[in-house]
Each structure stands twice: as C-alpha cells, then as structure tokens.
Structure 1
Amino acid sequence: MSASNGKGPAPVTAGPECQAQVDPLALLRTPDDPPWDVYLTGPVFLDIIFTGLDSAPVRGTESWARGMGSSPGGVANMATALARLGLRTSLAAAFGDDHYGEYCWDALEQGEGIDLSTSRRVPGWHSSVTVSMAYEGERTMVSHGHEPPPETVFSLGGAPRARAAVASLTPGRRAPWIAQAAHHGTRVFADVGWDETGAWDLAGLTDLEHCEAFLPNAEEAMRYTGATSPRAAAHALTEHVPLAVVTLGAEGAYAVDRRTGETAEVPAIAVEALDPTGAGDVFVAGFVTGTLADWPLADRLAFAGLTAALSVQEFGGSLSAPGWSEIAAWWRKVQSVEGQDPAALRRYAFLERLIPQGEAARPWPRRRAVPTIGFRSA
C-alpha cells in the first residue's frame, strides 16, 4: 500500500479485495527507474451512478433506477484503472475537505494504493459531484463544481518522475506540465474531449507536439482531420503525433505507429453493457500498460479493448475498472466454452504468460463495485 510520502512506492495491493497483483513491467525494471510508472493530474469528482433505467428521465416525472453506484470519478477513473493493472501510479489533484472529498481520498490512497503526495486537501472547498444516468447503452450526466483555488494548480516541479503521463488536451489551452514532463523523458499519452467551440482545429491542440500517442474516438478523429473514415483519420493524425489510436465503438479500435509503419486493428468484445461510465479511461489505461511493457501493437489494442469491455459490466467509473483477477477469470471462462472462435482465442493468448497462478478457480463474472459510499460499521 502506498504511504503517499513521496519516497517511492511501497508494495501495492490494488482494490478493495486485495486481489493478486501482476507487475506487467517486472522484466523491465531497473534500480535507476523513476519511482512511478504513470503520473496524472486533473479534477476528481464524486460520481453517483444510476443504472437500470428503462428510458431517459421525463420532465415532471419521477424515475426509479434498479441499480446505483458511488465512486471517485473524473481523473480518478484513469488513476484507478492504471493502478489495478499493476502500474505504480501518482495523482496530483485537489480534494474538498467535506465528507465526499475524504471518501475519495481514502478510496484512492488506501483502497487502490495510489500516491497522493502531490495532491492537496483544500479547506473550505467542496467536492465536485457528477450524477450519471445510464440507459439504452448511453448515459446522461449532470455535474456541479467550482474551480479550485489558484494555489492548488499543480506543475511538474512538485510531482515525482514517471515513465509516462496521461493528459487530457483542451483546445486552445496549454498545460505547461506536459512540455516539462516530455522534456524530462516522460512518455505522454493524450486523449481529448468534445470540442465545444466547434472549431476542431488540430493546431489548437498545442500540447500534442509533446505527446507520444493520441487516442481520440472515431468522431473526434474525423472532425480534427477532415478524413471521411476513422482509419484514414488515424493515418492523418500521425503527421502530428508518432502513434495514433482511434477507438471505433462496437467495431473495436485501429492504430498506426508512424515510427515503425505498423498498423493494427482489433474488433471489440461483445458484452452486455451495464454502465459505460469510464470505459474510455480504462481503454487508455490498458493501452498505456501494454505500451510501457513493450507489447506488440495488436496485443496492446486487444488488451485495452478487453479491459474496457470488462469495465462496462459494472457500476461506475473507477470501481468498475478491472484488475488482473477479473482478467484472469474472463480468460479461463472463454477457454472453457465450447465453440469459441480459434482466431479469437489466439488473439488473447498473450494473457497466458501474464495471469497470476491460482486464478483459474475464481468465479466469473466477478463483482467489485459497491452500491453506496460506505456502510456504517456495527
């Protein structure tokens, strides 16, 4: 468990179940490595998720949901997904000094082993909250929050060294820590949200020049490049970033590596989605894990898609992120089902060397997420 003292990671036991942990970078580690594998910064929300709605809420009526989950959200989704995949993760964020902020801090530091030594509790500032309603495979969100005080803005100067960083780019706005991180040898992986300005100008993503990989969805990629297909958009993006990964929704994902000339496409895994909250973050976390571990491009895409598929079968964003026990249970399950496509099994055969011993007997499906912030102790 990380003590969050800034002196490097203690042994990590990820998740509330203290499940068996895999270190995907074990063969690559040296005494001179940075203390952390991944560094992130951004806003943390308390997410309250309602699932099992038959339809979208209707004005003037009351809707009842068949399920509910609560968990740290925002950048916490990505941080948790990375930590559960065995990466030593450090997060810089502002936390409110209310009960919501206390819960999120404890869930991340004590529950997930995430380093919060560069995070801050802000007196008199309340936590941001998002209510998410999932229905018909989609979701609707309502959020409330305020910008943290200026003195809580974080920069690389106060953050630990890391192998990689994950950044969410904002059109027209620079984040100075991204350039600083790249200058110090950190590999930056970037995603992007919807461009509310409607400009869709790649030149406005000024920090993209410092990034190793860019992972937009198909619609974002096509709008930014003007391409008529997601695959053409991926190739166009490599004029601006070495590695472009475009997620294709139900079709999977497509990637192009400009440095090697390699391309890869992996179809999505068909699952019954309970809640899509945080699935994109889990996909990025899976891809970052495979990249840092030097896996082939197709294996990275397959792993990212698998982790995202497993996440949508649970409530919430961070609490639904799978760990190695869930991945192992899925792999053993699909191997035991007759009539599986041999090509599909070969696609995920690389998991065999990664799965911890003794995981075969664990049941599938596995359940992790809990429905409330916490029960009062007896």
Structure 2
Amino acid sequence: MTASGPSHGKGPSPLTEGPHRQAHVDPLAALRAPGDPPWDVYLTGTVFLDIVFTGLDSAPVRGTESWARGMGSSPGGVANMATALARLGLRTSLAAAFGDDHYGEYCWDALAQGEGIDLTPSRSVPGWHSPVTVSMAYEGERTMVSHGHEPPPEEPAPDCPPRARAAVASLVPGRPATWIAQAAARGTRIFGDVGWDDTGAWDLAGLSDLAHCEAFLPNAEEAMRYTRTDSPRAAAHALTEHVPVAVVTLGAEGAYAVDRRTGETAEVPAIAVEALDPTGAGDVFVAGFVTGSLAGWPLADRLAFAGLVAALSVQEFGGSLSAPGWSEIATWWREVQSVEGQDRAALSRYAFLERLLPEDAARPWPLRRAVPTIGFGRSN
C-alpha cells in the first residue's frame, strides 16, 4: 500500500520580496572538506518563462475558448532542475542564455536573488527574446506549447564547466556535448536524463555521452524503447550494461532502480497526492535522486526521497517554483505520521528522514511560488 501525503491546499502565493532563505539542512554537511569543488551540481540548458494554466476540466477543444481556474508564471526549462537542487541545499551553478527582455530579467532575478543559484557561467543576450512555454494541466497530465529561438553561439569560457561534485546532463541522440566529457574527466559525477527521440531511432549508440554517466534516469517508455524490452524492470537491468546505475520512472506506479556496482535493486511506489500541476515533477525527481546519491544514501532511500519531493512539487503551480524545500519535507513527514490508518510498513520507507530533519525544520511555507503574472508594482 502506498503512503498517502496530506495536501496543504494552498494556491499560488505572492512572490516573496527579498532574498530567498537558504536551505537550513545541508545534506552534504558531513562530507564537506577543504579543497572540495566550489559547486555541488553544475547544469546547463535553456531557461524558459513558463505560463501554467491549471483547473481545466478537459483538453481545449478546437474552435472554442477554455477558461482556467488557476494560472502561474515562473522560470522554466533547466530552471526547474536548478531550483529543485538549490532548495534541497546543494550549491548549484547554472550556465544558460537569458533574453534581455522583462521575462529574462525576471527569470535571472528569480534564480540568482531568489534561489541563490550561481549564474556566473550564464549570459544575457542583447536583442534575443526569452523562450516561452504555455503549459495546460488537466486530467493529471499537461500539454505544452513553446516558442523560442536558439541564442547566438558563444565560445565556452575557460572555466566552464566549473569544478563540481556532480552535473546533470540532458542527453540528445546524435548530439554529444563536449562539456560532459570534460566534466567527467575532472571527476564530476554525471547524471543523465533524456527526452523523447523525435528521430524514432531509439538507438543507445546515439547517446554517446552515456559512457560518461554514473546514472541514467529515463521514463518507462523511453527505457523500453531504447532497450527493446517489454517491461520497465527488464529495461532497467538492460541499461546497466551501459551505465552503472539505471533509474526508470514508472509514473503513478513509482520508480525502479538497479545499481550494477553494488548489486542493489530498489522499487518504491509513488506517493498518493492530489496533483495540481505536474510541470517539472520529473526534474524534481532527478534533483532528489542526485541529492541522495551525493550524500551516499542507500539506493532505496534515494529512490524514496526522489519520489517524495516530486510528489510534493505537483501540489503547487509552476515547474521551478513548485519545488519543495526541507521545511515542506519536514511538514509532510510530521503530518503524514499523524494521519490515522496509514500503512506503517509504507511509512517505514521514509524513516531515514528522521536523521536528516532537525526538530525545528517544520515551519510555515517560506518558499517563493509562481504568481499569475510578473511585473507588479511597475510604474507606467
């Protein structure tokens, strides 16, 4: 039986003014030492301005107008992963291009000032408009429409990628990224995810950067197509012929993982919550798994933690600003134990949280959340 999570029932709250409160739990505190890399995680990609509509009863119908009961705006794209990592207490560095429009300014400030993410490797591109995604959430899923252009090319800076414990890389078939091999050669642990293969080839040979990865985290459909297997669990085992750790997400069924080095396998069911917006939940899952991996947790704990933070994220609007922090995790853990009729065996999967959460970790929700629009308070 799956442990059920309490739904806090909050809608989007106004964007909090002032600097974001830094995570008050450092999952790597016991491991930090002089001479460590300056960053825990490095990542690069495209930052979008996400506009999310929720409360739709069904998909929009051609030729009609649909009204949504909720709306939120927040940084999206690679910002989803960066924010999730930072809110879990990891020192995060992001290389991305930002437009020099109001959208780009908002995204830059939200990430740098709001979340404490290092944007030293990033740049603002004059005359380039920010990519935008409109996401419509309904029936537990979402449909997205995006628009944007590739930013002008730029030679990589000499110190990019910076020294980091880990990096999250989005692998693209047939398009190896030079920085991945560079980072791996410097001892950075690479965690790879992947999107849908629009070419239809589904050939692992096309993912040449997989050779540099410690872990690979596709969803069930992607994993089965790449391995030509007929079950997600068989796919996970097949993937370990190419990468040490394979994690296959199973949607509402949870996730399954195999570690070839230790022989561990783990399967954790999803936490039942009332989903408001699933945008970015996959990114939050990866962030949770990376956090547990860097902290040296057992495979089952890493998988359970990743599923937990992903479940908490879908109860808020917007991809990046829906990511939970340690106070949300602590509040869930305290509240879920007080709910009558919980399956004690299911709850025991999360007992490892006790050693991570200080007594004062549970407090009111302090994190920035998505707002319907941006630019409030601007004078004409």
TM bucket normalised to smaller: over 0.9
Consecutive unaligned residues in structure 2, runs of 5 or more: 1-17
After superposition, the Cα gap between the structure-2 partners of 1:367 and 1:75, relative to the gap in structure 1 and judged at 3 Å, is closer
Q: SS where residue 149 of structure 2 aligns?
A: coil
- Identify the residue that residue 372 of structure 2 maps to in structure 1: 371
After superposition, the Cα gap between the structure-2 partners of 1:155 and 1:280, relative to the gap in structure 1 and judged at 3 Å, is farther
For residues 177 and 253 of structure 2, what CA distance do their matches in structure 1 show?
33
* Correspondence 1:317 to 2:319: yes
**Alpha-carbon distance, 1:179 to partner:** 0.5
For residues 20 and 34 of structure 1, what CA distance do their matches in structure 2 show?
19
**Alpha-carbon distance, 1:339 to partner:** 1.7
- Identify the residue that residue 214 of structure 2 maps to in structure 1: 212
Q: Could you tell me which of 234, 238, 262 is aligned with 1:236?
A: 238
TM-score with structure 2 setting the length: 0.92
After superposition, the Cα gap between the structure-2 partners of 1:119 and 1:366, relative to the gap in structure 1 and judged at 3 Å, is closer
- Partner amino acid, structure 2, of 1:60: G
Q: Could you tell me which of 64, 87, 98 is aligned with 2:101?
A: 98
Moved more, 52-61 or 291-300: 52-61
Identity of aligned residues (%): 86
Q: Does structure 1 retain, via aligned residues, the 8 Å contact 2:121–2:157? A: no
For residues 208 and 304 of structure 2, what CA distance do their matches in structure 1 show?
30
**Alpha-carbon distance, 1:370 to partner:** 2.9
* Correspondence 1:355 to 2:357: yes
**Alpha-carbon distance, 1:180 to partner:** 0.5
Q: SS where residue 231 of structure 1 aligns?
A: helix
* Correspondence 1:306 to 2:308: yes
Consecutive unaligned residues in structure 1, runs of 5 or more: 1-14
Q: Does structure 1 retain, via aligned residues, the 8 Å contact 2:51–2:72? A: yes
After superposition, the Cα gap between the structure-2 partners of 1:235 and 1:156, relative to the gap in structure 1 and judged at 3 Å, is farther
- Partner amino acid, structure 2, of 1:45: F
- Partner amino acid, structure 1, of 2:284: V
After superposition, the Cα gap between the structure-2 partners of 1:319 and 1:239, relative to the gap in structure 1 and judged at 3 Å, is same
Q: SS where residue 229 of structure 2 aligns?
A: coil
**Alpha-carbon distance, 1:157 to partner:** 3.9
Q: Could you tell me which of 331, 334, 337 is aligned with 1:332?
A: 334
Q: Does structure 2 retain, via aligned residues, the 8 Å contact 1:329–1:365? A: no
For residues 366 and 71 of structure 1, what CA distance do their matches in structure 2 show?
13
Alignment of 1:120-269 (within 5 A): 120-151=123-154, 154=156, 157-269=159-271
After superposition, the Cα gap between the structure-2 partners of 1:367 and 1:81, relative to the gap in structure 1 and judged at 3 Å, is closer
Q: Does structure 1 retain, via aligned residues, the 8 Å contact 2:20–2:367? A: no
**Alpha-carbon distance, 1:148 to partner:** 0.5
For residues 156 and 269 of structure 1, what CA distance do their matches in structure 2 show?
44
- Identify the residue that residue 286 of structure 2 maps to in structure 1: 284
After superposition, the Cα gap between the structure-2 partners of 1:371 and 1:325, relative to the gap in structure 1 and judged at 3 Å, is farther
Greater length-normalized contact order (CA 8 Å, ≥ 6 residues apart):
2
For residues 108 and 349 of structure 2, what CA distance do their matches in structure 1 show?
38
TM-score with structure 1 setting the length: 0.92
After superposition, the Cα gap between the structure-2 partners of 1:365 and 1:302, relative to the gap in structure 1 and judged at 3 Å, is farther
In the alignment of these two chains, the number of paired residues is: 362
Q: Does structure 2 retain, via aligned residues, the 8 Å contact 1:46–1:127? A: yes
**Alpha-carbon distance, 1:126 to partner:** 0.7
**Alpha-carbon distance, 1:20 to partner:** 5.2
For residues 258 and 155 of structure 1, what CA distance do their matches in structure 2 show?
36
- Partner amino acid, structure 2, of 1:252: G
